[in-house]
Amino acid sequence: MCSCRGIYFSLDQADVQLLLDAPNDREVLRIIQEDIEARWDEENLLLLDKSWDAIHRCLTDGTLTCKQKNIKEKVIIGGRQLYKGSAYIISLKTSSEVQEIVESLQKINKQWFSEKFYGLRKKRSWFTWATCSDYEGPLDKNDFEASWEYFKELRCFFEKASQKKLSIIFLVDQ
């Protein structure tokens, strides 16, 4: 797993159950690294690099906070958290949530995404906790185009998983 580079895996119910039955974070990581990641099944994975951050913020209120009020929050870091520590974000989207997410993502066009992307502001605050959630990536045309392309791949990935009735996990190290 690479530094802050997001990856998705679509999983069948057997893999999901293994993760849900894991007694601790160490076992969750072992299952992912030795079973799921080791298979490197390119049909059932998607690399988002670091664009997951901007995409998540575009789909939500512009922060990394998930209030669980909007299905779009579950696309990336929202959903059931499988890792309790602070070294990783590992979030599960069930097959039924994947179906809902697909419906939500189908409504997003480039204009909407562009408005959300360029609406991300770099805020200044004296409080450390407030600046942690502000987007620090570039807000230029190249970054927008890369984020939009990754978003389209993400939407297709969710559509494929939905058709196969698979669940999805997102993971990133911090």
Q: What is the CATH number of the domain that holds 131?
A: 3.40.1760.10
Number of domains in the chain: 1
Q: Put the strands of the sheet holding 167-173 in their side by side order.
A: 45-49, 6-11, 167-173, 88-93, 80-81
Residue with tokens 């998930």: 66
Q: Give me the chain's average pLDDT, please.
A: 91
pLDDT digits (tens, 9 = 90+) for 96-126: 999 999 999 999 999 999 999 999 976 545 4
As a three-state string, the secondary structure of the chain is CCECCEEEEEECHHHHHHHHHCCCHHHHHHHHHHHHHHHCCHHHEEEEECCHHHHHHHHCCCCCCCCCCCHHHHCCCCCEECCCCCCEEEEEECHHHHHHHHHHHCCCCHHHHHHHHHCCCCCCCCCHHHHHCCCCCCCCHHHHHHHHHHHHHHHHHHHHHHHCCCEEEEEEEC
Provide the whole-model pTM: 0.90
pLDDT of residue 174: 86
Strands 167-173 and 80-81: unpaired
pLDDT of residue 152: 99
Q: 44 lies in which domain range? A: 6-173
- Specify if 151 maps to a domain: yes
- Specify if 126 maps to a domain: yes
- Specify if 1 maps to a domain: no
pLDDT digits (tens, 9 = 90+) for 54-89: 999 999 988 888 887 889 999 999 999 999 999 999
- Specify if 109 maps to a domain: yes
